[in-house]
Amino acid sequence: MDSDRIKGKMDEVKGDIKKKIGDVTGDKSLQGEGIVDKAKGKVENAFGKLKDEGRAERDRVEHSDEEDVA
């Protein structure tokens, strides 16, 4: 699993917590920070997923090339 996916998930959770605390306390600034952190985490997670898929495809192609040589 790519480090961007891990960081993204952590930011999503952090954002969710901030938003919920902001909701409970009525702190609009904290709510906004939570929404931004959660969105940032989703983007990081998606980027990490693309990198994982790219690596998997590269490995598949390299493995395929090795079979052609043998």
Digit-by-digit pLDDT tens for the chain (70 residues) are 789 999 999 999 999 999 999 999 999 999 999 999 999 999 999 999 999 999 999 999 888 866 665 5
Positive/negative CA dihedral, 12, 17, 21, 24:
positive
Which among 9, 7, 10, 38 is positioned nearest to 22, based on CA atoms?
A: 38
CA distances (Å), origin 2, targets 36, 46, 58, 62 = 22, 10, 15, 20
